[in-house]
Amino acid sequence: MDLVRVQKNIGYYFKDIRLLRTALVHRSYLNEKDKLPEITEHNERLEFLGDAVLELIVTEYLYLRFNEPEGYLTSLRSALVNYKTLGKIGQKLGLDEEILISKGEREEVGQG
């Protein structure tokens, strides 16, 4: 896990680097036999928080940018914030290479 590279790619340097490390641990990794002993926490609590942050950022952007009815804005948001789009952005940022995930899960995600 190259946290310097990740921070460079996302253009943000963490005050508490442990947050970034935890954010890159998929739940499945903690059951791997050869896992790093210092990794004990997965990213699901951070994901719960991050989803709401992302939702507000995108919502505010669309609200300010488009003077359109709620239904239109909701459709736009669904087109932007979803598994596929976020997956692509993650790949562009090289997060797919840095995330700690079990071998089985990685194959499944790769096919998805």
> Please, what is the minimum distance in Å from the beta carbon of residue 25 to a copy of itself?
13
- Residue closest to 100 by CA, chosen among 45, 38, 21: 21
**Contact call for residues 5 and 20 (beta carbons, < 8 A):** no
In degrees, rounded to 5, the angle at the alpha carbon of residue 89 between the alpha carbons of residues 86 and 93 is 135
Does 34 contact a copy of itself by CB under 8 A?
no
| Nearest Cα to Cα of residue 22 among 102, 99, 105 | 99
Residue whose structure tokens are 């914030």? 81
Binding mask 42-81 for a copy of itself (x = CB under 8 A): --xx-xxx-xxx-xx--xx--x-----xx--xx-------
Question: Taking CB under 8 A as the rule, does residue 25 contact a copy of itself?
Answer: no
Residue whose CB is less far from a copy of itself, 48 or 83: 48
Confirm or reject binding of residue 19 to a copy of itself (CB under 8 A).
no
Q: Enumerate binding residues for a copy of itself (CB under 8 A).
A: 44-45, 47-49, 51-53, 55-56, 59-60, 63, 69-70, 73-74
